[in-house]
Amino acid sequence: MTPPMLAIRDLNVWFGEPPDRVDAVKSADISVAQGESFGLVGESGSGKSTILRAVAGLIDSWSGDLQVAGLKVRGARRDRQFFKTVQMVFQDPYASLHPRHSVDAVLSETLHLQGIGNVDQRINKLLDDVGLGRSFRFRYPHQLSGGQRQRVAIARALAAEPRLLLLDEPTSALDVSVQAEILNLLSDLRAEHDLTYLMVTHDLAVVGHMCDRIAVMQHGRLVEELPVADLRRGAAKAEYTRGLIEASGSLGATA
């Protein structure tokens, strides 16, 4: 049997020391199959980004069991092979790209770090893959629109040829008109590159368009997990989930 692409068991993540300790994630279990797109939803501060950041190795203070493609992730140590498998795309492409690094510099740095050769060819292919094209190669972030910057951030994530992408509200900082373009790009890339997604969003329309299953978080805990088809049928059990659906009113609308 193929192991899940991501298996999170009894994950606890905290910040600080008592009495100021914040328990941001409490006893979370998530399993994401290979090729699946799994959504994490829930109110602000419920711990969604913290789960992604812990999986990505950006937080040291966690306990539990994390496995990626059947391999156990230990402590805060992440090696090159790990980053080759797992990459993260952040909410804000303005903040995630260095203002003085050209697109070429951003992509070649990742390719070099991953020991991937044929850099010229790879960069051109990556730019084609994210729908930017080669003419963007020597531009700087300030010469790009928000959507174009997020495409560069996605190209940077893809450069390592990952299998699992952690997407933290990848479109919420973008203009509404651009959001659908980026979501469509992400859908296409998942199919073309056989990717698995763990995606945070607070937008149920995004969930309807992008995800197979979701988990709902509240106060650091997963309160419900369900297939998006059930969500559409109104079969959500937790009161909190139903409230979320009512508040959004747009589930299933194609982005």
Ligand X SMILES: Nc1ncnc2c1ncn2[C@@H]1O[C@H](COP(=O)(O)OP(=O)(O)OP(=O)(O)O)[C@@H](O)[C@H]1O
* Residue 118 contact partner, candidates Mg ion, ligand X, none, CB within 5 to 8 A by sort of partner: none
Tokens of 99: 């203002």
Q: Among ligand X, Mg ion, none, what does residue 46 contact (CB within 5–8 Å per kind)?
A: ligand X
The DSSP annotation for 141-178 comes to GGGS-HHHHHHHHHHHHHHT--SEEEEESTTTTS-HHH
171 counts as binding Mg ion under rule CB under 5 A:
no
Tokens representing 252 are: 């299933």
Contact region with Mg ion (CB under 5 A), list: 45-53, 81-89, 175-183, 216-224: 45-53
Q: Which does 22 bind (CB under 5 to 8 A by kind): ligand X, Mg ion, none?
A: ligand X
Count, residues near Mg ion per rule CB under 5 A: 1
Residue 49 or 179: the one with the smaller Cβ distance to ligand X is 49
Of residues 46 through 85, those in contact with Mg ion by CB under 5 A are 49
Rounded to the nearest angstrom, the gap between the alpha carbon of residue 200 and the centroid of all alpha carbons in its chain is 6
Prior bond of 18 cis (ω within 30°): no
Which one, 15 or 138, has the nearer CB to ligand X?
15
Contacts with ligand X, residue ranges (CB under 6 A)? 15-16, 22, 24, 42, 44-50, 202
Q: How far is the CB of 100 from ligand X (least distance, A)?
A: 26
CA distance 153 to 90: 8
Q: Which tokens in the block code for residue 53?
A: 């950041």
Minimum CB distance to Mg ion, residue 205 (Å): 18
- At its nearest, how many Å lie between ligand X and the CB of residue 136? 29
Q: Residue 22 or residue 113: which is nearer to ligand X going by CB?
A: 22
Numbers of helices and strands, H then E, in the chain: 10, 10
Q: Which is nearer to ligand X, 40 or 182 (CB)?
A: 40
CB atoms within 10 A of CB 254: 9
Choose among Mg ion, ligand X, none what residue 213 binds, the Cβ cut-off being 5 to 8 Å by kind: none
Least spacing, CB of residue 76 vs ligand X, in Å: 14
The least CB distance from residue 20 to ligand X, in Å, is: 9
Long-range pairs, 57-60, Cβ under 8 A, ≥24? 57/82, 58/88, 59/13
Q: Cβ–Cβ contacts within 10 Å for residue 5, how many?
A: 24
Residue whose tokens read 């194609």? 254
* Piece of the chain touching Mg ion by CB under 5 A; list 43-51, 56-64, 96-104, 121-129: 43-51
Q: Kindly state the smallest distance separating residue 40's Cβ from ligand X, in Å.
A: 8
**Closer by beta carbon to ligand X, 37 or else 46:** 46
Q: How far is the CB of 47 from ligand X (least distance, A)?
A: 4
Task: Show the DSSP H helices in the chain as ranges.
Answer: 48-56, 80-85, 93-96, 103-113, 119-129, 146-159, 176-193, 204-210, 228-232, 239-248
Where do contacts with Mg ion occur on this chain (CB under 5 A)?
49
